[in-house]
Amino acid sequence: MPKHYLLLFLFFLTHFVSAQENFNITKISNALFSPVTMDFEIRGDFAYCADEYGLSVWDMSDPENLTKISHCQTAGKAYRLCINGDFAYIPETGYGLTVVDISDLENPEVVNQIEVDLHRGGDYLDLTINDGLLYICGGRYGFYIASIEDPAEPEILYQYQVDDSHIHKFLFTEDASYLLGTGLSVLNVQDPENVEVINYVDLGNAYDICYYENRLGIITEDGLSFYSLDDPHEPEFVGLYETRIWIYTGAMQISGDIAYAS
């Protein structure tokens, strides 16, 4: 089995200091959620984990003693998940969108399977929920918007495809929305059945996107790219940090003057 390593970079956008001077990180405990845990969400005292075998629920009320409560087998490989109320939404390649009722934590149950074409590979799948809508990135099969007015019966309202692009990240802000693939699409999604493509920025291959205080951070083949959103519809390139390690499977977040990439 190949070994996967996590590399964490700290990038100060205004100045550099040692991470050790700012953080005192101590390991509390660990638990083997699954041999291949692909994604997880924490809600209150519980963690919901997606793996190659389905959905597992863990009690984390005692951080030093994590306890598995239950597991729900799904039809395919559970690469991602998104929790909304009493339901978990899981995109599974080859099977579409799986809906799991988690109202009974000891007995989670698959209640629906929605047919959508999804890329065979977890790195190209993503889910976001906002204001009763589920945004699904399906890799080379495009981007979907589904209504979850009935949370057990998602209804696909819209599909968008960019030629030769693996769409895998969606970012929602108050002023505009951003869809990441081979490039960056700027969208108006106010009418989810008639999405408007406002702009497109050619980035080459890009892998993750984050937003903080009028800025975008994007992981590209060249490194960490930064864009100003003084005009949310016209992202303006303002800088690049060239990493010496290819972080094409990584993730990125910005907080204040610090950018984090893994």
Q: What is the pLDDT of residues 170-218, one digit of tens each?
A: 888 888 999 888 789 899 988 888 888 899 998 877 888 888 888 899 8
Q: Would you say the C-alpha torsion 214, 42, 77, 89 has a positive or negative sign? A: negative
Q: How many domains does the chain have?
A: 1
What pLDDT is stored for residue 121 in this prediction? 56
Distance of CA 89 to the CA centre of its chain: 13
CA distance 115 to 112: 10
Q: Report yes or no on 78 lying in a domain.
A: yes
183, 176, 170: which is closest to 225 by C-alpha?
183
Distance from chain centroid for Cα 57: 19
219 domain residue, yes or no: yes
**Res. 84 pLDDT band, cuts 50 70 90:** very high
Would 57 be classed as within a structural domain?
A: yes
Distance CA 262, CA 260 (A): 7
Q: Is 20 helix (H, G, I), strand (E, B) or coil?
A: helix
Q: Is residue 56 part of a domain?
A: yes
- At residue 5, the pLDDT reads 35
117 is in which domain, residue-wise?
Answer: 31-245
- pTM for the model: 0.76
Note whether residue 99 is domain-resident.
yes
Long-range pairs for 67-76: beta carbons < 8 A, 24 or more residues apart: 68/31, 68/33, 69/105, 69/106, 70/105, 70/106, 70/107, 70/108, 71/108, 72/100, 72/108, 72/109, 72/110, 74/98, 74/100, 74/110, 75/110, 75/113
* Residue 18 lies inside a defined structural domain of this protein: no
DSSP state of 167: B
CATH number of the domain residue 146 falls in? 2.130.10.10
10 within domain boundaries: no
Measured distance CA(218)–CA(171) in Å, rounded: 11
pLDDT of residue 204: 78
Lowest-pLDDT choice from 14-23, 109-118, 140-149 = 14-23
User: Span 208-236, mean pLDDT?
Assistant: 89
Q: Is residue 182, in this structure, part of any structural domain at all? A: yes
Share of the chain above pLDDT 70, in %: 77
CA distance 252 to 149: 31
Closest CA relative to residue 198, chosen from 219, 184, 180: 184
Span between the terminal Cα atoms of the chain, in Å: 21
Q: What number is the average pLDDT over the span 39-53?
A: 86
The CA distance from 262 to 183, in Å, is 21
